[in-house]
Amino acid sequence: MEQDQHAPLREDVRWLGELLGHTLREQVGENLYETVERIRLAAVETRSNDEMSVARLRALLDPLEDDALLEVARAFSQFLNLANIAEQHHRERLHRQHQRYPGDPDSDQGLRNVLERLSARQVSAQTVRDTLTDLSVELVLTAHPTEVTRRTLIRKYDQMADLLTESDRPDLTGEERQRLEQRLRELIISAWSTDEIRRERPTPVDEAKWGFATIEQSLWRAVPDFMRQLDEELQQAGLPSPPADWVPVRLASWMGGDRDGNPNVTAAVTREVLLLARWMAADLYLRDVENLLADLSMHRASDELLARTGPSHEPYRVVLRDVRDRLKVTRRRMEALVEERPVPDGEGFLNGAQLRDELRLLDRSLRAVGLESIANGQLKDTLRRLSCFGITLLCLDVRQESGRHADTVDAITRYLELGSYLEWDEAERQRFLLTELENRRPLVDDLFYQSELCDPQVREVLDTCKVIAEQGPEGLGAYVISMAHAPSDVLAVMLLQKIAGVTRPMRVVPLFETLDDLDNAGETMSALLSIPFYRERVKGGQEVMIGYSDSAKDAGFLGAAWAQFRAQEKLTALFREHGIPLTLFHGRGGSISRGGSPTRMALLSQPSGSVAGRIRVTEQGEVIRFKYGRPSVAAFNLEQYVAATLEATLLPPREPQPQWREQMEKLTRVSVEGYRQVVRDDPALVRYLRTVTPETELSRLALGSRPARRKSDGGIESLRAIPWVFAWTQIRLMLPAWLGTGAALEAALQDQSDTDQVREMASHWPFFQGVVDMLEMVLAKADSRVAAWYEERLTDDADLMRLGDSLRQRLAGTVEALGRLTGRGDLLDNNPVMRWSIRVRDPYTDPLHLLQAELMARLRDRDSDRVLESALMVTIAGIAAGLRNTG
C-alpha cells in the first residue's frame, strides 16, 4: 500500500531530474553533464562503501577549475530544489485525497479529527461552539534571514508546482501532457538561466514587501478557502455555522518593526511600512469590490438598503461604486504620504469599521430577501478577509531591546537633573516610572530634543513612539521588549509611549529569552501585577513572549525546552489566579533548536491550560514559504493551527507526574552543564566555528537587512541565534539541537529506574514525546562523516581536530542513547518517507558539502574572487534546500 501511495512522488522526482539533465546537456554541454553524473554516482558509492569512495569523489572535484565548480554546484543545488517541489506537491496531493503523509504528525489531524475526538470525550456542542467563536490564533510573519531562495526563483518553482498539479489530472490528453512537459522544461531552463544568489542585501522595506507579496499571492486566497473548509467540517459535525465574518486567525508582522539589533529599521522605515501596508490592503479590497460589482447585479433589496440608495434597479452596485471610489481615495492618500506629496482631497476609509459597515449592509440585505446563497459567495469571502487582515493588511509589532529604553529614560532623568536612571536600583526606577505614568503634566519639553542628551539613539526611540502616536492603534500590534529582565523594563515603555502622546498605547509585551529570565518570568510578572496601576491597565488581557532561539543558544535545546515549559506553567497559574486572560507569544524559528516543530506537536506539548483558546506564534524565514507560499498549503496549515488550538484548549495534555519533573530536573542539569562545558568553557569552540563551518562566509550572503552579529568583534555571545544554527547545519553537525541532550540521556540510561522512568515519559508525556521525536528527526539529518570532511580540508590545528573528534563522539553517543531509549535500531524506522527523502538527497548534498569545503579553502587563500564567492553562495543555498532548513 505504501509503495503505491508514494510511487507518484518517486515518479515526479525522476521526471524533474530527467528534465534537468536535458537542460544541462543543452545549456552547458555534454562534458559538464557527464562530469555531474560521475560525481553523482561517486556520491552514491560514498553512501554505500568505505572511505575509498570519498577519496574518489574528492578526486573528481579537486581538478575542476573555478568556473566548472560553479556550474557543478548549481546543478546539484537545482536538483535539490526540484526534489523539494516534488515532495511539497506530493503532500498537497495526499491532502486533496484525504490521505495521511506518513511521518507527518499534522497530516491527519485536521479539524474533522479533533471534532470527532471532542465528541467521543462528550464535550458538548455548545462548549465547542463557544470556544471556537472566541478562538484567537495570531501568526506573526518575521523577516529573520533564513530564506535563501530569491523571490524570482520562488515564482518559477511555484509555476512548476502548478504544472505538477495539472499533470495529475486523469483526463489529461496526450497533446496536453506534451504541452505541459514543454512548459515545465521551459521553466527549468529559465530557472537554470537565473542567478540563484541575491546580490544586494534587502532593506527592511524590501522585506516588508516580501511579506505583503505572500499575502497577495497566497494568503489572500487561502483564508476564505480554509474558512469554507471549516464551515464544511462544522456542518458535518452538526455544529451551527459561525457568524458570516468570523475568522479565528489574524496576521501580524515584524517586518519593518523589529529594530532589535538592526540599525536599518528606523522610525521612518516603520512609518513607510505601515503606509505601504495600508496601500496594499486598499488595492486588494479594490480588486474584491470590482468582482462584487460584476456579481451583485440583482435588484431585490431590503428596505434598509433602499433607504440608503433610494429607488434603484441595482442598489448593491450603488453602494459598491461608492466603496470603490473611497478605496481609490484611500490608495491615493497612502501613495501621497509615502512619497511625501500633498494628500489629495476625498473621503477614504479611515478604519476597518467603516468598510465593514458597508459590506455588512449588503450582507444583511441579501439574506433578508432570500438571497443567502449569494451572500455566502464572494461577499462572505471579502468580509472574512476584512476580519483577518483588517484595513491595514496586518498588524505591525515593534521590537526593541530593553537597554535602549533604559538609556532613553536615563537621558530624560539627567536632563531633568533628577540623577541617573541607570544608576538607580529597581525599586527607585519603579517609583519614578509609576509617578510619571500617573502624572498628567508633560515630562519633557522641546528643549530636551535639542539638548546633547538627546543623542541619535535616544531620539530614534522617541521618534518610534511618535510614529505609534501618529498612526493610531489599528495597524499596530505589540511592543515587544527583548531581553526583558525586570518590571521597570515594561513600565519604561509605557512611559515612553505616554511622553510621545500615544492616546491608545500599544500593548507592551516582555520577551523572556535567556535561561535566567525564563526562570524569573513568573516572579517578574507577579511583581508587575502587584502594582494596582498596572493590574488595572492589563485587566483585559496580558501577552508574554517566550523566547526559543536565545534560550537554546544560552542553555542548549533540552535545558531551554524545560525552562520554557516551567515558565509557561508559572505564568498560566499566576494570571489564572488574578483572573486576567493570558496570551503566550511563542518566538519559534524553523529549526528544532529554535523551537521549530509540527503545529499539533508544538501546541499539545505545552503545559495544560497554557493555550486556553489563545495563541500567538512567529513564522520565520523559509518557514513562511514552506507553510504559506501556496494557497492550498497555506489553507491546510491555517486549519492545523485552529484544530490544534481547539484541541489543546478542550483536551489539554496531561500534567506531568512529580517523578517526571524530578527526572527532567536531573536531565537538564546534566544537559546544561554538558552544553556549556563546550560552548562556554572550551576556548577552541569559537575558532572551530569560524574555521570549520562557513559562519564567517555566511555574512557574504545577502539574506536579510539585519547584521549577523550584535557586535562585530564579539564571540559566541554576540552571534545571533540564526547564524549560530545555520553554520552548524551547513556542515551537518547540527550541534545546537543535540549538544548536552545526549549526555543527559546517557546518564539516565545508566540506571535502570531512571531508564524506566525516561521511557515512561517518552510514552505518556506529550512534552517529552515532542523532545524525543524532534531530536530523532534532527539526528537523522546529522552526519559526523560530512563534518569530518570540512575539518580535514580546512584545518590542521591539533586543538581544533581534538575538539572536532570530541564533538563527533558526542554526536555518536547521542544517537546511541536515543536508540536505546526508543528501542529502534535505526533513526526514523517509524518514518520511512522522511528516511527516503533524506537518502534521495544525500547523493546531491554530499558533493555540495565537499565543494563548499573546497571553496572555503580556496577563498581563504585569496582576497576575493567573484566566481568562487558565487559558487560558495550556491553551495550554501543548495545545502539549505537539501536539508529543507537553514536556521
**Over 484-512, what HEC string results?**
CCCHHHHHHHHHHHHHCCCCCCCEEEEEE
CA distance 635 to 667: 39
The domain boundary, picked from 775, 805, 827, lies at 827
Kind of pairing between the strands at 249-253 and 476-482: unpaired
Q: Are residue 12 and residue 93 in the same domain, yes or no?
A: yes
Q: Are residue 728 and residue 750 in the same domain, yes or no?
A: yes
Q: Which of 569, 586, 454, 579 is nearest to 512 (CA)?
A: 586
Is 384 part of any domain? no
The domain boundary, picked from 812, 827, 842, lies at 827
Bridge partners of residue 401, in order along the sequence? 482
Q: Is 553 an active-site residue?
A: yes
- Which grid coordinates belong to 771? 523532545
* Residue for grid cell 440583482: 298
pLDDT score at 99 = 60
Q: Are residue 758 and residue 794 in the same domain, yes or no?
A: yes
Q: Are residue 166 and residue 47 in the same domain, yes or no?
A: yes
pLDDT score at 7 = 83
Is 608 part of any domain? no
Domain carrying residue 849: 1-99+151-194+831-887
- Which grid coordinates belong to 423? 544608576
pLDDT score at 712 = 52
Is 800 part of any domain? yes
Q: Are residue 866 and residue 728 in the same domain, yes or no?
A: no
CA distance 529 to 526: 5
User: The pTM is what?
Assistant: 0.90
Is 516 part of any domain? no
CA distance 30 to 36: 10
Q: Are residue 821 and residue 883 in the same domain, yes or no?
A: no
Q: Are residue 882 and residue 786 in the same domain, yes or no?
A: no
The residues of the chain scoring below 70 in pLDDT are: 1-5, 49-53, 98-109, 144-149, 589-597, 700-722, 830, 833, 885-887
pLDDT score at 551 = 78
Q: How does pLDDT run across 38-55, given as a tens digit for each residue?
A: 888 888 887 776 555 678
Is 860 part of any domain? yes
pLDDT score at 361 = 97
CA distance 674 to 804: 16
Is 292 part of any domain? no
Q: Are residue 57 and residue 16 in the same domain, yes or no?
A: yes
Q: Are residue 158 and residue 176 in the same domain, yes or no?
A: yes
Q: Are residue 811 and residue 869 in the same domain, yes or no?
A: no
pLDDT score at 135 = 94
State the catalytic residue, choosing from 553, 627, 781, 849. Answer: 553
Helix (H) or strand (E) holding 543: strand 542-547
Q: Assign 5 to helix, strand or coil.
A: helix
Instruction: Judge whether 586 and 599 are in contact, CB under 8 Å.
Output: no
Tell me how far apart the terminal alpha carbons of the chain are, to the nearest angstrom. Answer: 36
Phi-psi region of 609 (alpha: psi -120 to 50; beta: other; left: phi over 0): left
pLDDT score at 107 = 47
CA 52, chain centre distance (Å): 41
pLDDT score at 701 = 63
- The vertex-549 CA angle with 546 and 554, nearest 5°, equals 100
Count how many domains the chain has. Answer: 2
Q: Are residue 764 and residue 853 in the same domain, yes or no?
A: no
Is 499 part of any domain? no
Q: Are residue 764 and residue 678 in the same domain, yes or no?
A: yes
Q: Assign 775 to helix, strand or coil.
A: helix
pLDDT score at 244 = 78
Q: Assign 482 to helix, strand or coil.
A: strand
Instruction: Judge whether 110 and 643 are in contact, CB under 8 Å.
Output: yes
Please give the single-letter amino acid code of residue 611: V
CA 211, chain centre distance (Å): 12
Environment class of residue 763 by beta-carbon count within 10 Å: exposed (0-12), middle (13-18) or buried (19+)?
exposed
Is 309 part of any domain? no
The domain boundary, picked from 827, 844, 860, lies at 827
- The vertex-532 CA angle with 445 and 437, nearest 5°, equals 5
Instruction: Judge whether 492 and 432 are in contact, CB under 8 Å.
Output: no
Backbone angles phi, psi at 137, to 5 degrees: -115, 120
- The vertex-578 CA angle with 573 and 584, nearest 5°, equals 50
State the catalytic residue, choosing from 90, 144, 156, 781. Answer: 144
Kind of pairing between the strands at 582-587 and 249-253: unpaired
